[in-house]
Amino acid sequence: MSEVDMAVIKPEMMKSYIWLQTADGSIQQVEQEVAMFCPMICHEIIQKGMGSSKNYAISLPQRVSPAMLSLILDYCRFHQVPGRSNKERKSFDEKFIRMDTKRLCELTSAADSLQLKPLVDLTSRALARIIEGKTPEEIREIFHLPDDLTEEEKLEPLKNTTDDPRIRLLNRLYAKKRKELKERQKQKNIEVEEERVDERSVDDLLSFINGENADSKGVATSKNKKKNRRRKDPQKSTSIDHATESPKKGSNGLGCLGTGGDNESHSTLSETSKLQDVEDDIFYHKVELDDVDIDDEIDPALKEEIDREVEDFARRLNSDWPERMQELLSLGQEKSPVHFSINGNGSLRKHQRDRWLRSEVTESMLLGGDEQMSKNEIQW
């Protein structure tokens, strides 16, 4: 029989298939014209003669999972047909890339390893649209990337080899925040202790009722303990709050000043000493307030107010902290080049990470801001 006859009778027999193997070991058959759409596969077939049988299946790169291969082959199957119009192709592409971001990334990676440039262009364009205009935090969320510094690590003091007053200030603020973190953790422990304290005070009361004189002291002690604790919190958080607020104002003021490193360091120094004064003021102010209450119970309304303030400061601190840090660091110009190396198994040493974080923040401020720099937000 002639070839043409055979084709009429059994068209499937004339189609040739290519064998492909993915990293998980599974092997599949794919129509040759579809598979050949991928330059990498094409190369394997033509240059190395692979793929013609199961035993000689073409090993695909590790990044090409069976799921990704399936998607890629769908793409190839459509586009390798010559007769399609541009409109058709465009329409297919638009529908094709409607998938979640994770898959888009995997697909980009897989298509790249198969050198399928049109698909790489399509997916990377879509990813670029997703990334455009987003902050680093948002990007981390979208792509499920861990924010891999712990609370404590973020508050590690930065190395201050040049004795930069801004870094000194920042480290002091970090120290305060670390203290607060510890306090919070202690509070959790204290809550357990508190019960014991209360029990004692109940005992005291009972003995008092039963008529023992020494107990008034005990009662007073427990009351003082409570009062002191209360006093500590608002004072601490207020001073932290002011500490973080002043630099913010300061950095705005400095931002408006002209150029010149000298100007900047002067102002910051005066800002630092101003800060000390502010802190001291707050301390005395709060002490006065509490002194009034020595013998009475704390007015519940005031207590509520203080509690609310503390909560508010804590919340603001947590959300504003990255921005505050950036503003502070933005005043500097990173003159020395940044080098960081990564250990063999991939972890960054702490001080190197510092440098990375610090320099990048500086740099992003320099590159990112708009012509009218917003006072409250760092515009990425």
Partner 1 sequence: MRIEEKAVAEMGDGEQQKMMWSRETIPRVMKIVGARLHQRDLVSLLLVSPWIHRALVSYSSLWLVLDFREKNKAGERLIAALSLPRYHHLKEINLEFAQDVEDRHLEVLRTEFHGTLQNLERLNLNGCQKISDKGIEAITSCCRKLKIFSIYWNVRVTDVGINHLVENCKHISDLNLSGCKNVSDKSMQLIANNYPELTSLNLTRCIKLTDVGLQQILLKCSLLQTLNLYALSSFTDKAYRTISNLPHLRFLDLCGSQHLSDEGLTCIAKCKDLVSLNLTWCVRITDVGVIAVAKGCRSLEFLSLFGIIGVTDKCLEVLSSCCSNTLTTLDVNGCIGIKRRSRDELLGLFPYLNCFKVHS
Helix, strand, coil percentages in the chain from 3-state DSSP, rounded to 5: 70, 5, 30
Candidate list 12, 191, 367, 374; residue touching partner 1; CB under 8 A: 367
What's the longest Cα–Cα distance across the chain?
Answer: 121
Nearest residue to 115 via CA among 215, 36, 54:
36
Is 301 a binding residue for partner 1 by CB under 8 A? The answer is no
| Binding region for partner 1 (CB under 8 A) out of 71-79, 160-168, 180-188, 333-341 | 333-341
Q: Is 196 in the site for partner 1 (CB under 8 A)?
A: no
Does position 257 bind partner 1 by CB under 8 A?
A: no
d(CA 177, CA 181): 6
Candidate list 15, 48, 134, 249; residue touching partner 1; CB under 8 A: 134
Q: What distance in Å separates the CA atoms of residue 359 and residue 351, rounded to the nearest whole number?
A: 12
List 14, 136, 252, 312, residue binding partner 1 (CB under 8 A): 136
Q: Which residues pair with 27 in a beta bridge?
A: 21
Nearer to partner 1, 99 or 292 (CB): 99
44-56 per-residue burial string, b: 16 or more CB within 10 A, e: under 16: bbeeeebbeeeee
Backbone angles phi, psi at 233, to 5 degrees: -60, -60
The contact pattern for partner 1, residues 62-101, with x = CB under 8 A and - = no contact, is: -x--------------------------------------
Q: Is 218 in the site for partner 1 (CB under 8 A)?
A: no
| Three-state secondary structure call for residue 156 | coil
178 forms part of the interface with partner 1 (CB under 8 A) = no
Q: How far is the CB of 162 from partner 1 (least distance, A)?
A: 15
| Cross-strand pairs, 18 | 30
Using CB under 8 A as the binding rule, the residues of this chain from 45 to 64 that contact partner 1 are: 63
Residue (112 or 180) nearer to partner 1, CB: 112
Lookup: tokens for 198: 């209360």
Q: Interacting stretch for partner 1, rule CB under 8 A, among 132-140, 180-188, 275-283, 285-293? A: 132-140
Number of residues located near partner 1, criterion CB under 8 A = 58
For partner 1, the binding residue among 195, 281, 340, 377 (CB under 8 A) is: 340
Cβ atoms < 10 Å from Cβ of 276: 11
Please give the Cα distance from 282 to 241 (Å, whole number).
11
Residue 30's SS3 state is strand
Sole binder of partner 1 in the list 60, 120, 155, 243 (CB under 8 A) = 120
The only residue of 52, 59, 80, 135 in contact with partner 1, by rule CB under 8 A? 135
Distance of CA 28 to the CA centre of its chain: 41
| Strand partners for 17 | 31
Tell me, rounded to whole angstroms, the distance of Cα 90 from its chain centroid: 36
What region, left, alpha or beta, does residue 25 occupy, with left being phi > 0 and alpha being psi -120 to 50 degrees? left
Beta carbon of residue 363, minimum distance to partner 1 (angstroms, whole number): 6
Of the candidate spans 134-142, 168-176, 214-222, 272-280, the one that interacts with partner 1 by CB under 8 A turns out to be 134-142
369 near partner 1, judged by CB under 8 A: yes
Residues that bind partner 1 (CB under 8 A): 63, 105-106, 108-109, 112, 120, 124-125, 127-128, 131-136, 139-140, 143-146, 148, 150, 153, 259, 333-340, 342-343, 345-348, 353, 356, 359-364, 366-373, 380
